[in-house]
Structure 1
Amino acid sequence: MAVAVTDVLSDLLQPSLRIVLCGTAAGTTSAAERAYYAHRQNKFWTILHETRLTPERLQPQQYRDLLQHGIGLTDLVKVAAGMDRATLPKLTAAERSRLSGVMTTFRPRFLAFTSKTAGQKFFDGKRDYGEQRDLIGDTRVWILPSTSGAANGSWQPEVWHQFANEVRAAG
């Protein structure tokens, strides 16, 4: 008998989004709290407010409020939780296809991977931070530095600011 596998965190998606932010997989704290970017050391909610992508600093349990700001959330891996290196040894074609399908269905203006690992795993190769040459349909794709406290050594908020400026410039 097959066991039904459920998503650790449900996607937060709807039509007419400006942005979909995509992580690698829910972290263990996020899985336990049932809220995206829930670890207290994660800079996600602070940088969204600092870049003016949200008018106030939201708390992880308010993640559904992002829809009011035209922002959706998803992860590459929906059925596992943990650190990138433990969760994502190799991304499957089905996981890539699922995300591409989400983008072509919802057609946000931007997809932004919230870590270099997520972007490189999706594209199956080395990539730098910033806007990528690849589109998914009409969706522009960015790779942003991870907001995880575990990635403090590679934190570059200026890339998040560049992204936010491009989002605003696109209207």
Structure 2
Amino acid sequence: MDADRSVPFRRPTPQEVAAAAGRGLVDVIGPDLRVLFCGFNPGLYSAAVGEHFARRGSRFWPALHRSGFTDRELYPWERDELLRQGLGITSLSNRATARADELTAAELVAGVTGLAVKAERHRPRWVAILGVTAYRIAFVRPGAGLGPQPDRLGPARVWVLPNPSGLNAHFPLPALTAEFAALRREAQSG
């Protein structure tokens, strides 16, 4: 992200980040989105500042831009601009944790019900689950891979993308961007 733009929030202290455990985030969602991106859950840093994918170095924003979803790299606090571009963000679980593996399988499975309600209400064309592991657990599809899935959430089709976490070493940024671009092409065509 460009260094010339000021961050609209103060960088949280380590104590503030730790205190964000269990806190949630407000969805970035609206009617008739092209794609509603759905992560596992907020990380502690994101919960501490109140923005999705807020940690400096998050690969979500560069992948979104480089794949052609946005004409420039957006900042986590640019919720209105994200919505203007027909994109939104939510999570399977809205409980912030230090690591996604702190979530239980039951939390992820229960999150599908809430996600289905959001999809029925807001009617995105696609729901993109950010992480094949989360998808396999939450949708009880142990053999699932990346790409389009047979599931629907309300009227929305489901697509699985790699988790954009920097801990996902299997997908460096160029590979992550290519996966995002495949969804963008499909979202534009129909």
Asked whether the two chains share a fold, i.e. TM above 0.5, the reply is yes
1:28 matched to 2:48: no
Which structure: larger Rg?
A: 2
Q: How many residues align?
A: 165
The one-character-per-residue Cα deviations of 1:42-82 (angstroms, maximum 9, x if unpaired) are 21000111111111101122234210101111000013333
Q: Do the aligned partners of 1:19 and 1:72 also contact (CA within 8 Å) in 2?
A: yes
Q: Do the aligned partners of 2:109 and 2:137 also contact (CA within 8 Å) in 1?
A: no
Query: Mapping of 1:2-151 within 5 angstroms?
Result: 8-91=24-107, 94-126=110-142, 127-151=144-168
Q: Do the aligned partners of 1:45 and 1:59 also contact (CA within 8 Å) in 2?
A: yes
CA distance in 2 between counterparts of 1:93 and 1:152 reads: 25
Cα distance, 1:89 vs. partner? 4.1
SS across alignment from 1:132: strand
| 2:179 equivalent among 159, 162, 166 | 159
Q: Which runs of 5+ in 2 are unaligned?
A: 1-21
Cα distance, 1:166 vs. partner? 0.5
Q: Do the aligned partners of 2:34 and 2:87 also contact (CA within 8 Å) in 1?
A: yes
CA distance in 2 between counterparts of 1:92 and 1:74 reads: 13
Aligned-residue identity in percent? 29
SS across alignment from 1:66: helix
Q: Which runs of 5+ in 1 are unaligned?
A: 1-5
Which letter maps to 2:33?
A: L
